[in-house]
Amino acid sequence: PWTDLNKHWTAFDTFTNWLHGIPFLGVLIGKDIPALGTWYFNEITLLFVFMSVVIMFVAHMKESEFIDAFLKGMGD
């Protein structure tokens, strides 16, 4: 965590606490989500998959095209 490097670097903790305070979003993401500086494999994997799906919609890709591209990317 960033606070282990310097106890004054609390930007990610502050931002996470702010997100938890937003009524709908705080409930949606959950109260146990770690701050950005403390993310590990599970959180980064979820972010990667979620953003891949967002890119699929933005690029107007067909599902078959998306899955082929995703699997080719994972193979590399």
For residue 62, what pLDDT band results from cuts at 50, 70 and 90? very high
* Helix (H) / strand (E) containing 38: none
Cα(61)–Cα(47) distance, integer angstroms: 19
Q: In sequence order, what are the residues at sequence separation of 6 or more whose Cβ sits closer than 8 angstroms to the Cβ of residue 3?
A: 9, 10, 13, 37
19 pLDDT more than 90: no
5 pLDDT more than 80: no
Nearest-Å Rg of the Cα atoms of the chain is 16
Q: Do residues 11 and 22 touch, judged by C-beta distance below 8 A?
A: no
pTM: 0.53
